[in-house]
Amino acid sequence: VLALRGAPAPDVLGSTLLNFFYRQVRFALLNAERGMQTQHLIYIDDLPKLYNSRYLNVVLDRELKRSERYRNFFSVLFMDLDFFKRVNDTYGHLIGTRVLVEAGAVIRSCVRETDSVVRYGGDEYVVLLVETKAEEAILVAERMREMIEEKSFGQESELDIRLTISIGIAAFPEHATTKQHLLNLADKAMYRGKDSTRNVVYLADAQNVP
């Protein structure tokens, strides 16, 4: 076969096409990666770099479907720092922000990689413990409560701020079988603690299950 004068040789043409397709695939992969990073950022709270409430809806829906399908169980912890307003009033919002970050790190250190820690808003956090029954969730919550109570916050600013935390627990399917009911029961259990002694872990009332 005679090659036309001035036309690229077959190996050159093949190399050019290969480079073209390589660039197209590379650009597609980069765009996909950027899309995943953007989607990930949608679910991250800028302050403590924990998940935000948008992600909570996603992960709860996912865990409910998984648990219903495989007859698994999980627990939801709803928690609030006691008298946190005093920190902002005494030391200012900048220190308060740093304390929230530190508290989030303490909570995160108490759970597994498979669990989810969410900053729900203000000084409230929600934790989803996968494949964890209520009695096991109590142990995790007590560990969080003790570590928050024992920690000295604000040391980077040469402060010694002491805090406590109140935690409410609701478990699937023991206490509730829907997302909103689980959150409501965990929230109510937490407020029972805040209305009593604070610095306490409360379990949802099983009698509230429909």
Active site residues: 123
Distance (Å, whole) CA 200 – CA 8: 78
Token pair 């304390």 is at which residue? 99
C-beta separation of 64 from 179 below 8 A: yes
Q: How many CB atoms lie within 10 A of CB 138?
A: 19
Q: Which residues contact 98 (CB under 8 A, 6 or more apart)?
A: 153, 154, 156, 157
Cα separations in angstroms, 2 against 12, 17, 23: 16, 21, 31
Q: Give Cα 184 distance to the centre of its chain.
A: 18
Asked if 52 contacts 59 with a C-beta cutoff of 8 angstroms, the reply is no
Q: Which of helix, strand or coil describes residue 133? A: coil
